[in-house]
A and B are shown apart, each in its own frame.
Chain A
């Protein structure tokens, strides 16, 4: 795809005329380079005397050698005058943030060390050019088993790769307002993790759009993970009917027993069910009162205000609050996937699949629009899976079992799980904070990052954010990132589709990515999907390899 383009020499832009490491390097554009050709977010390379710098354009501005130019502009209707004045007396400048240094390409140690963060700036008059595809490859690495092609830099065809090995070591975030392509991006990331085998995925698929199929913004059907990688993906469902209606037979139908619900789950539902602190905390008292398992079942079986107030007296909780809690929790009885049974096997099933290296997508079907159901199930399952992982990790430390496979749990509407009020106590907050200690990390997908606890945000390793326009959300995403102010300009100028700003652990430097296509037959093939015809050909080839050419 890039062959035709690598031939072009990188376009010369100008030379360094000033600047600093903190403010960025100022580059005066050549006469031939117009400001209109350079965009914020474009990569440039600067040839210093001994080092090559790699940077990103953070500002484009217009300058004049003489201030009177602004008050008495020249007669630019005269083409000669326009030609002379543009680029000389009136010129463009760009500010380049030096990100990395690449050292002398002749020096073999430099190639081993790879690009290093820039700790200085190039000398005056260093020549600046648009980064070449080779530069991009040198900085971001070429596509390989663990480097996943997520898209291209702006205005370039080079393949930009994400180091998935590093990516899955920490919790990560995908942000953007609705309709900017979060789901597409997430689906790609999941496909990448799946292909590279760096971790197994557990996806809490609220809108049922990752497993079997989803829809693009234009309303076209796109294939989900199960369709592309059927042998590696298991779809679990909470709503079997919905799955079947969409032409999919779920691998397992998840059911949850009331006995599995813990007071902590109620805490998570506090906001969604509009419970006061007192009401939510009453769950702990109830658990103590009824004793461990079964507290919720017994509590919900109470009928009438008197019995509730009596219980409130017994356990020392405000009667009104308890009545409210009772009232709200009865809503859970309306969820068909919940029942009185006490020995459901959902967690074991999920773990069995994960242990086999299968990726599990849990579809919510019609419960997708029921936030309480989503939060309850995601929290409950994650808590128990995490417990198992902790135990197994400890066993692995004691050499009594193997390390559990790294697990990436994808949650949507993450701000509901990670609000500052609950992040301290919930399992998701724990996972985000403890990072990879127990081989479990999160992939947080959210449109309102400002609603997420700042401590959790700061722990996210890699953030990939599509367009965000609320000030608070932009702040939340960029807090604690160096070059924050300049990234803000870049972030607010993203196009509303298929563009994202990616930065953090899995990338050597922040980068604006034009996300690669997903949804076209070509894109599926690039992801390794083989359609029926290709599969048949493959089978024939395999048969030939095994048994020799078939005669007749």
Chain B
């Protein structure tokens, strides 16, 4: 949680292949090239739609063909890929992002965009400044808590942990975020407790 964030300008990590107002599915440019769980991503363009990575999956591009075990003896996975370069073409990594906000005419909104991103839009990982700007308010957290897939509590704790490292005072950020969560999860104390425990360990 305390590792310094990468401060490079990110190229597109993938392309939208399925989209709805609440979530979008991105296929990564590179196999295993998905941003980690809880990462803030956005679709291309000035009116970006922000999402938080909630589920990452790698599978065969042909749903009818299931990958088979290919390792011989004590071969490492690296050796398997080296020996079968076609694998990087037959498999694909995809991630699903929960829509948490959008930008319209330069203004950031932390609620659902009126329309989903277009298919084949490029998806970028947000840089540090954008992550700080976006996590300036936690108004979007209810969207995460109601994410239709994945483990919402893990998504939120991963996001907060990642976002905290971008803030100048991570502890303060986490305490304030925790209090916001506590208010949102008023009647669900055990759930809150679970998230808080994840944030500290």
Residue of B nearest to A72 (CB): B190
Whether B175 and A83, one on each chain, are in contact in the complex, defined by CB atoms closer than 8 angstroms, is: yes
Whether B196 and A66, one on each chain, are in contact in the complex, defined by CB atoms closer than 8 angstroms, is: no
Contact of B193 among A64, A74, A87 (CB under 8 A): A74
Q: Known: A66-B187, A66-B188, A88-B183. Contact between A80 and B178, CB under 8 A?
A: yes
Q: 1/0 per residue A501-542: CB within 8 Å of B?
A: 000000000000000000000000000000000000000000
Please indicate the chain B residues that have their CB under 8 angstroms from the CB of A65 in the complex: 182, 186-187, 189
Whether A87 and B189, one on each chain, are in contact in the complex, defined by CB atoms closer than 8 angstroms, is: no
The answer to the question of B179 belonging to the interface, with a C-beta cut-off of 8 Å to chain A, is yes
Contacts A/B (CB < 8 Å), 30 sampled? A31-B179, A65-B182, A65-B189, A66-B187, A66-B188, A66-B189, A68-B189, A72-B189, A72-B190, A74-B193, A75-B193, A75-B197, A78-B196, A78-B197, A78-B200, A80-B174, A80-B178, A80-B196, A81-B193, A81-B196, A81-B200, A83-B175, A84-B175, A84-B182, A84-B196, A85-B196, A88-B179, A89-B182, A89-B186, A89-B192
Whether A69 and B189, one on each chain, are in contact in the complex, defined by CB atoms closer than 8 angstroms, is: yes
Q: How large is the interface on B (under 10, 10 to 19, 20 to 34, 35 or more residues)?
A: 20 to 34
Please indicate the chain B residues that have their CB under 8 angstroms from the CB of A64 in the complex: 189
The answer to the question of B132 belonging to the interface, with a C-beta cut-off of 8 Å to chain A, is no
Give me the interface of B with A, judged by CB distance under 8 Å: 171, 174-175, 178-179, 181-183, 185-190, 192-193, 196-197, 199-200
Other than A68-B189, A81-B200, give 19 A-B pairs with Cβ distance below 8 A.
A31-B179, A64-B189, A65-B186, A66-B189, A68-B190, A69-B189, A74-B189, A74-B193, A75-B197, A78-B197, A78-B200, A80-B171, A80-B175, A80-B200, A83-B175, A84-B182, A87-B179, A88-B179, A89-B186
- The docked-state distance in angstroms from the alpha carbon of A68 to that of B188 is 8
Whether B196 and A74, one on each chain, are in contact in the complex, defined by CB atoms closer than 8 angstroms, is: yes
Please indicate the chain B residues that have their CB under 8 angstroms from the CB of A74 in the complex: 189, 193, 196
Chain B CB within 10 Å, residue with most, of A81, A85, A88: A88
Residues A86-145 near B (CB distance < 8 A): 87-89
- The docked-state distance in angstroms from the alpha carbon of A182 to that of B109 is 66
Task: Kindly list the 3 A-B residue pairs having the minimum CB-CB distance in the complex, ordered from nearest.
Answer: A84-B178, A88-B182, A66-B189
Please indicate the chain B residues that have their CB under 8 angstroms from the CB of A75 in the complex: 193, 197
- The docked-state distance in angstroms from the alpha carbon of A89 to that of B200 is 18
Residue of B nearest to A78 (CB): B200
Give chain A's interface secondary structure class.
loop
Q: How large is the interface on A (under 10, 10 to 19, 20 to 34, 35 or more residues)?
A: 10 to 19
Q: 1/0 per residue A322-348: CB within 8 Å of B?
A: 000000000000000000000000000
Please indicate the chain A residues that have their CB under 8 angstroms from the CB of B185 in the complex: 89
- The docked-state distance in angstroms from the alpha carbon of A166 to that of B139 is 57
Please indicate the chain A residues that have their CB under 8 angstroms from the CB of B200 in the complex: 78, 80-81
Please indicate the chain A residues that have their CB under 8 angstroms from the CB of B190 in the complex: 68, 72
- A184, chain B: closest CB distance, angstroms: 48
Please indicate the chain B residues that have their CB under 8 angstroms from the CB of A31 in the complex: 179
Chain B CB within 10 Å, residue with most, of A87, A88, A89: A89
- B178, chain A: closest CB distance, angstroms: 3
Whether B175 and A85, one on each chain, are in contact in the complex, defined by CB atoms closer than 8 angstroms, is: no
- The docked-state distance in angstroms from the alpha carbon of A80 to that of B193 is 11
- The docked-state distance in angstroms from the alpha carbon of A128 to that of B188 is 28
- The docked-state distance in angstroms from the alpha carbon of A268 to that of B117 is 97
Chain B CB within 10 Å, residue with most, of A65, A75, A84, A87: A84
Residue of B nearest to A68 (CB): B189
- A305, chain B: closest CB distance, angstroms: 86
- B171, chain A: closest CB distance, angstroms: 8
Please indicate the chain A residues that have their CB under 8 angstroms from the CB of B183 in the complex: 88
Please indicate the chain B residues that have their CB under 8 angstroms from the CB of A68 in the complex: 189-190
